[in-house]
Structure formats: C-alpha cells, structure tokens
Amino acid sequence: MRFLTPSRRAEDGRGQPACREEALSPVSPALPPLDPALPPVDPGLLPLTAEFRPEGLAVGGVLLDEAARRYGTPLFVYDEEHLRRRCREAVAAFGRGNVAYASKAFLCTAMARLATEEGLLLDVASGGELRTALYAGVDPDRIVLHGNNKDEAELRTALTVGLRHIVVDSFDELDRIERLHREEGLPPARVQLRVAPGVAAGAHQAIQTGGHDSKFGFGLADGAAAAAVRRARGSAAVRLEGVHAHVGSQVLDPAELADGAAAVARFAVEHGLRRLTVGGGLGVAYLSGQSAPSFAVWAERVRAAVRGAGWSGEVGVEPGRSIAARAGLTLYRVGTVKRIEGVRTYVSVDGGMSDNLRPALYGARYEAFLPRCPEAPRPGHARLVGKHCESGDVIIDDAALPADLRVGDLLATPVTGAYGYAMASNYNKLPRPAVVFVRNGEARLVVRRETEHDLLRLDVATGDGLGEPVAAQRSHAV
C-alpha cells in the first residue's frame, strides 16, 4: 500500500491535509464533534493496493471517485490483486488441493474463475451457486456441494456432472442419494459426512454452527455421526471418503477453530476415515485496532490440534470471508444530512440494508470515510443510514466522519467484500449494485447494475396479458 506524504497536498491551516473540494451542493451543517475524534481510516482496513493520492484514494490504480462516476453508486469495488494474493496465501499455508473457496461469501462467474486460477477448489451451497460455478467453466471435480437441505434437483445435478464431493448433512439426504442411484441409475456419490462436534465458535449466535443444537450435520454427542458412517459404508449409492465440520464464522481466536478441528479429527481417526475437512471461519478486522490471524497461524494451530488427536493426513479448509472481505469496499453517494438538535445527526446514502444486511442481521460494525480525503481526521459523528423504509436500515450506528461531509459526497465503507453483494436484496424494489474488479489501473465490470426492467422481468400480468411478464408487455407497448 502506497501513501503520498501530506506535504504533497494543501493544508487546512491546522496542519491537517485538506479535503479536496468538489462541485457539490451547499455545505451541510457541520457534523457534531466526536470526543475523542477518531483518526483517519486505518490502512489495515483497506485493500492491499490502496494508495492515498492528491486526488483521493485509489485502489488497483483506479481512483474511487472515477469508478463511481463511471459505474454509479452504490458500487462494490474489489481489489483483484488482493483477492489473488489471499488465495495464494491460503494455498501456501494448507497446500494445493486442500483449500476450497467458500463461495457463499461472494460469488460471480469472475470470482469463480479467479479462485480456480489461483489453485483453489470451490465450495458451493445451493443449486444456484453450483450453476454459477459450472457456467464459469469450473471443472466439476473441483467443486464441493454443501447444504443442510439439498433437494433432488440439486443432488441430481451434482451426481450427473460428477462433483468432487457432496457434503452430506442428514439421513434424509442419504435417502435421496440412494433413490437417485436406484431409480435413475445415477453414479454413486463421493461423500463427506458433516458432523456437529459440539464446539460453537463465532462472533454471533447466528453464525455459530458446530454446537450440539445446530441445523447442520450429524451430532457426535448423540451418536448420529457414528450411525451415519455405518449407514454410508453399507450403501451401494455412497462412496464415503471423509468427514467435515464447520464450527462458526468470524472467529478471531484460532484456538477456537483448533478445538473444533481436534474433535473432528478424533472422530475421523476412530472411524478410519481418510479425508478431514475443518471448514472455514477465520475472521477479519472490521474496525480500527482489530487484528485477525494469518492463514499461516491458522494452519499451524489446526495442524497441531489434529496431530494431537492422532490424525496424520492432510487437512482441508474452506475460507471465504478471509479471502474476500478486505478486498472489497462499497461506495455510496450522500443524499441527505439531517440534524435533530439535541438528539443526533442522520447521514443518508443511496444504498443500505439491501446491499449490506449484516448490521441489521448480526449487529455487525463498520467504519466509513470520504475517498476524496481518506487521511483526514474524523471528528464528526452521525448515524449512517440507507434509503429504505425501515428504521433498522442502519449501516453504522455512530459513524466517525469528517466534519465537512456534505450532500453529494462520495462515501466508502471498507471491508464489505464478504456477505455484502452475496446477501443483497431488492427490498423496496431497489436494483442491486454493480460490481467491478480493479487492477493495474483498469476497472473491469464483472456484475452489471440491475435496472428497473430487471425488477419487472418475473412479474406476471393479469387480464389480456395473462401469463406474460409485465416487462415484456411494456416492451411491446414501446
């Protein structure tokens, strides 16, 4: 990450770099001061190629202001070099063939291709994610299918194309696989059994997945996992290859992940299984001052734990957030600044919970800054909100911001590369944002912005146009 010295820029009279002026609306009332004022955005929250230029922040050699002007806002911007480096670091830590990108964090055809180009397998959790991976040209033997309630159509596709593994989650799923093998003559499934080891980790209850009380996997404590091994080994429709577990997400203490890995390793050794996958869950820093373990530290802790449990083979992992989160940021345009005397100030942007559901869903916390002056202190504070008809549409409850923020400003929230676009919705009929990859001074559109026409494509008209999509009728009228 490169930084230009403040001496290259004008100063505001207080020795601080001055924000670049833009042709915006009249200055809004100054934001109320935050005591103590937060310093500029932490470079550790920005993509690896971020650089502070006199004109503002650039990522991948592309000014964020230029990206917003070209592609509009809200906009997801991903540092392609950052994504590739994280993939390589994961492979270096765990070994080629042992790392599957957890595509639920962020998936499009470009991301699927990038991950596989860098030597990763692909972990998908639905028929839609599977179809995206196949459409991107990913070899089926490099795809692993997850899901606690796979339907017959998803399993049929998986068996027909020949995926690397199906991670089986229940006895009902084994029933479906056996029925497809028996009645349709589909080949036996290569299977890993997902188990719930009784170890729950993660920053929020909703993303803790390895406890006894979980919708995922066969329990170790109640004997369901051992029964599943016996059932799979006795089935002509199944080729049992190993065991899988995932204990939770956004874990910042690798010891928690190691505990889960040890429990699953003991089970694998006891039952003579030859493959062991311990899932993902490695957390990232979302706020200044936070730190997250490296892939190397994660690998060291996990290997020590499974060796202590008697496992001598390779260990598979499935990172998602730790690949994509810091690589991406979201750009918004400020639409209103509303100060309620004695209460608070609201800053509203042109996106919200339809492109970042995590604050409303998990209480997730973020920071924000102005790309035109990313190294400016942030003495003002306000509640940063979206444009949805929902009081809970809050991006940052008490955001530290430059005091001169105004209507029309471009505003960025970093570390939104995971579970932002992936969880995006059309709430209030807002089109989902575009996604661009930036690298070597070029921006590449990888997902176009939805249009209002897209929003109408699935609606079916009534009356004379019964059965015809509304959007098609409108095009006929034109």
Per-residue tokens: 65: 């202001």
The amino acid sitting at 184 is E
CA–CA gap between residue 31 and residue 404 (Å, rounded): 7
CA proximity to 253, closest of 202, 324, 207, 197: 202
Q: Is the pLDDT of residue 451 over 90?
A: yes
CA–CA gap between residue 99 and residue 193 (Å, rounded): 18
Show which residues are catalytic. Answer: 389
Per-residue tokens: 275: 């493959």
Report pLDDT for 28: 56
Q: How far is CA 32 from the centre of its chain?
A: 33
Judge if the upstream peptide bond of residue 74 is cis by omega within 30 degrees of 0: yes
Judge whether 301 is annotated as a binding position. Answer: no
CA–CA gap between residue 71 and residue 61 (Å, rounded): 16
Judge whether 321 is annotated as a binding position. Answer: yes
Least confident interval from 193-202, 405-414, 434-443: 193-202
Judge whether 362 is annotated as a binding position. Answer: yes
Judge whether 319 is annotated as a binding position. Answer: yes
Report pLDDT for 391: 94
pLDDT bin (cut points 50, 70, 90) of residue 24 is very low
Strand pairing report for 143-145 and 165-168? parallel
The amino acid sitting at 303 is R
Phi, psi of 13 (to 5 degrees): 95, -15
* All domains of the chain in start order, with CATH: 2-78+326-447 (2.40.37.10), 80-321 (3.20.20.10), 450-478 (no CATH)
Please give the mean pLDDT across all residues of the chain: 89
Cα→Cα distances 201→196, 198, 213, 257, 307, Å: 12, 10, 13, 7, 21
Phi, psi of 421 (to 5 degrees): -60, -35
User: Is residue 46 classed as helix, strand or coil in its secondary structure?
Assistant: coil
Judge whether 281 is annotated as a binding position. Answer: yes
The amino acid sitting at 300 is E
CA proximity to 148, closest of 212, 209, 65: 209
Is pTM, for the whole model, over 0.85? yes
pLDDT bin (cut points 50, 70, 90) of residue 473 is low
DSSP 8-state code for residue 320: S
Judge whether 50 and 417 are in contact, CB under 8 Å: no
CA–CA gap between residue 22 and residue 68 (Å, rounded): 14
Judge whether 125 and 106 are in contact, CB under 8 Å: no
Report pLDDT for 436: 99
How confident is the model over 389-407, as a mean pLDDT? 94
pLDDT tens track for 53-63: 999 999 999 99
Find the length of the chain. 478
Report pLDDT for 470: 59
pLDDT tens track for 117-172: 999 999 999 999 999 999 999 999 999 999 999 999 999 999 999 999 999 999 99
Q: What is the dihedral of CA 436, 279, 204, 208, to 10 degrees?
A: 140
The neighbouring-strand residues paired with 332 are: 411
Judge whether 318 is annotated as a binding position. Answer: yes
